[in-house]
Amino acid sequence: MKDLSRYRAMESLCRQSAVFHPHDSWRLLAQAEMWHHKAEDELAARSVQRDVAAPIDAVVGTEFQGRAARASRSLG
């Protein structure tokens, strides 16, 4: 989360600087675009990690519930 916040802050800083430095605005806006893409890449990587982790957690949870149900039936 720290990287994403940093990327967004740098993007904002570059855009604000472009307003106050019109002669360098082309360079600053290019840097802002770079930071924007880094933030998007970070979000995409997190969504892939989340999508991969969710099914694994579901399988582990189902397996645990199945064992608990079998154990309670054998006791009863």
User: For residues 9 and 3, what is the distance between their CA atoms, to the nearest angstrom?
Assistant: 10
Query: What is the rounded radius of gyration, in angstroms, for the C-alpha atoms of the chain?
Result: 24
CA distance between the termini of the chain: 48
* Count of domains observed in the chain: 1
pLDDT of residue 72: 63
Domain membership of residue 44 as a residue range? 2-75
24 or 52: whose pLDDT is higher?
24
pLDDT of residue 21: 98
For helices 25-75 and 2-20, the axis angle rounded to 10 degrees is 160
pTM above 0.85, yes or no: no
pLDDT tens for 6-42 read 999 999 999 999 999 999 999 999 999 999 999 999 9
